[in-house]
Structure 1
């Protein structure tokens, strides 16, 4: 692959987007999903390069389609102004989202990054049966009118009311239920709640987990839901952490078999504000600041991939294979924000700790993902060693430590390895590896591996082979 062929354009100049509103959406969404999986204004090959949507995320088996509509709220009586705005901002977005989802389902290989349809998506759409599509309508322009209509210190966000569907919306100002008549779930975020949701759930796993659980929760046949805004629904979600800090969920609903009729779940107005004012929430926000070092590591490698200057350790030596790059970085980006904090701390410790000898390593297994190990390593560079030779030595050493972790840890199915110089070096580069462990090792195989690693100076006498 030549440098020109290897130059991918999905990370466009600036933030992407055709309007100020789309640019802002792109900025927030790229912060959560990072550049590798984020595409502004993708196109189809219909009608000479028709725009598919305003923003597209393809992350593993999940696809998120965003439509952005900034519509000025009409003047005049609310019974006329609201239906006009709703049809322009919400219903039109919902219809476009449904059309985009249908196109993806039917023609997954006909989506491009440019209007000329010369640059296909750098990673493929997940196959049927595995892909999960989420629709997000971003609406702007209703905030001030909403605040005046409800009064009493309204936050200005649109009310969630799942008892209404289709044209019912036109008789219920500033309330959103099922724009597409319960056929398809559409997340509707306004100018206030877009910021709150994408700033609070600013990793791929966190946001996708919320979208999936929200869809299941609000789609329940045993209840209707009334929340004074998406922010209060989010507060209900965050206030119900799962055991072992393994994410969040909504409180369980009553057993449908025990109910004589559908129940109504009503959220408390102002829950989001009250949550943000708690000391626990403030401590949590402060504690996760180091986690963004993990994001920066992923984004730094992405810039090298775009420039075609990134290498990756692969058993097939496909150092310019976009699929190999995507697999290892997506494994890193799968970590929720809370656990990025832990892995980022471990990585920073390795980069900054003083040590004797020529190399230092650490193996980390996060509690929510016991089948994956992270091997973090630094190797000092002797001043008299050519840098390319040093990189080869470092890559070989990283592979050795990954092999050793496989022998030392039970139940590991994959290993992500990251190697670099220490942070006080004049220049710092990284090597990455994603090692999938499918084959079973016999007792003799393990003994031979240990012997080889001991000879290479990697296996320590204090280590035990499981």
Structure 2
């Protein structure tokens, strides 16, 4: 960067130099890996005074806003553990919760006054969702208590903070290493420590999976008196209770009892060491190729070399167009990403057979999103074909296949298309397309569309128009 030249928006987003502490840098690394770079912002600022830090990390993804506060405080030494706990609670948990409440309040009142640089010259590249649709999640990351907690609980404790919803206002000096009722100043605040931050962001490493967990946890703990031996045990209970038909997970119903229900320690270790867990990790390994595809396209956006086609007429360099199509891809949870990545990999590895067919494609509708279709295409480049000519033909083919799917599958309201070279190709590029449909075709429109697709050699006579 030249002297006195303003940094680009992507240099500001990607830079970790301005992150104040090792703890915040670690949070940013974990969170960006889970939530991906396009939607992740370290240390955003407000224009109060000469620029004031809003929070330590923020994710803006569709209608969801995740606000993180990170505090690493040494656990005080005192002969009375209740005194030590109360002092640490005030400096770590309460201070984080207060920062989060303040950030959420500012966001509600002044959503256009948030920037990604301390000089307040670069606004958020992704606009905040409107207040009527906005869902804000507050996450306090509090570090420094693990060693003291492990000693206090003994017996091989994991060191994570207990959850006890009968304690009010998050914490009480008479209950060391316990987090109380999640409502603080009428807002739900998620409290994570150095163990449970790693666990949650490793297991729920997509925005969809993470937000689903937070949302269901907020409802679960707001309506139930419960004690849990750490956030990781709550997560284990959640992951051990899958919903049929790949619809995600839910928290188990608690037995009716006069005693306070208690999710004991050990569930997470049993799950983590189980054969089912190891098989699950093997099963989803390929899903990270979908993450890498999104991040690869983001890197092109950073360099100004990306092109995305949206409704056939959008400016290829329009930031909103880039964000929409990549967000649609990133909306999928880990299981859906695995399904899409498997189909994409099959196409990429297909061998060309000289029978006149040079296009391979697949169509997917994942169970969790019945109104969205994915069209994946690999077009073979002919030996005598210029690459620009090939790329143009590939975009035309992708567009046509996407239009055909609207006629073949009932109820589809949006289509995401991805086209690529074969994996063995010496050049590797991708084309991305997003289509959304506002109204049904009339019969006359269907006939015209069919005629066009037949003229392009796309529509097969064995296909049925719905």
Normalising by the residue count of structure 1, what TM-score does the alignment of the two structures yield?
0.94
Give distance in 2, aligned partners of 1:348 and 1:425.
14
Give deviations 1:49-74, integer Å, cap 9, x for gaps. 10000000001100000000000111
Q: Is the 8 A contact 1:33 1:203 kept in 2?
A: yes
Give distance in 2, aligned partners of 1:464 and 1:200.
41
Q: Partner residue of 2:106?
A: 103
1:70 corresponds to which of 69, 72, 84: 72
Q: Is the 8 A contact 1:43 1:113 kept in 2?
A: yes
**Is 2:431 the partner of 1:431?**
yes
Give deviations 1:156-195, integer Å, cap 9, x for gaps. 0000011112385122100001376461111000000000
Structure 1: 5+ residue stretches without partners = none
SS in 2 for 1:250: coil
Change (3 A) 1:85 1:179: farther
Q: Partner residue of 1:224?
A: 225
Change (3 A) 1:7 1:385: farther
**Is 2:271 the partner of 1:291?**
no
Q: Is the 8 A contact 2:171 2:179 kept in 1?
A: no
Q: Partner residue of 2:331?
A: 334
1:55 corresponds to which of 50, 54, 57: 57
Give distance in 2, aligned partners of 1:447 and 1:354.
35
Q: Is the 8 A contact 2:347 2:377 kept in 1?
A: yes
**Is 2:321 the partner of 1:319?**
no
Q: Is the 8 A contact 1:6 1:307 kept in 2?
A: no
Alignment of 1:73-222 (within 5 A): 73-77=75-79, 78-166=81-169, 169-178=172-181, 181=184, 183-220=186-223
Give distance in 2, aligned partners of 1:389 and 1:10.
36
SS in 2 for 1:138: strand
Q: Partner residue of 1:407?
A: 407
Give distance in 2, aligned partners of 1:98 and 1:358.
57
Give distance in 2, aligned partners of 1:54 and 1:286.
33
SS in 2 for 1:139: strand
2:277 corresponds to which of 273, 277, 281: 281
Alignment of 1:375-386 (within 5 A): 375-386=375-386
Return the offset for 1:252.
3.3
Give distance in 1, aligned partners of 2:74 and 2:8.
43
SS in 2 for 1:264: coil
Give distance in 2, aligned partners of 1:375 and 1:393.
16
Q: Is the 8 A contact 1:224 1:262 kept in 2?
A: no
Give distance in 2, aligned partners of 1:265 and 1:119.
49
Change (3 A) 1:98 1:294: same
Q: Is the 8 A contact 1:414 1:435 kept in 2?
A: yes
Give deviations 1:67-125, integer Å, cap 9, x for gaps. 00000111122122111110000000000000000000111111000000111000101
Structure 2: 5+ residue stretches without partners = 1-5
Give deviations 1:380-418, integer Å, cap 9, x for gaps. 222333322222111111100000111111111110000
Q: Is the 8 A contact 2:74 2:144 kept in 1?
A: yes
Return the offset for 1:14.
4.8
Change (3 A) 1:302 1:276: same
SS in 2 for 1:377: strand
Larger CA deviation: 166-175 vs 422-431:
166-175
1:266 corresponds to which of 262, 275, 283: 262
Q: Is the 8 A contact 2:418 2:431 kept in 1?
A: yes
Give distance in 1, aligned partners of 2:274 and 2:289.
26
Give deviations 1:193-243, integer Å, cap 9, x for gaps. 0000100000110000000000010000xx311001000000010111011
Q: Is the 8 A contact 1:10 1:36 kept in 2?
A: no
Return the offset for 1:355.
3.5
Change (3 A) 1:142 1:192: same
Return the offset for 1:358.
1.7
2:28 corresponds to which of 21, 26, 29: 26
Return the offset for 1:12.
1.4
Q: Is the 8 A contact 2:150 2:159 kept in 1?
A: yes
Change (3 A) 1:384 1:198: same
Runs (4 or more) in structure 1 with deviation over 6 Å come to none
Return the offset for 1:11.
3.5
Give distance in 2, aligned partners of 1:212 and 1:198.
15
**Is 2:298 the partner of 1:302?**
yes
SS in 2 for 1:66: strand
Larger CA deviation: 170-179 vs 143-152:
170-179
Q: Is the 8 A contact 2:171 2:178 kept in 1?
A: no
Q: Partner residue of 1:345?
A: 342
Give distance in 2, aligned partners of 1:455 and 1:438.
25
State how many pairs are aligned.
456
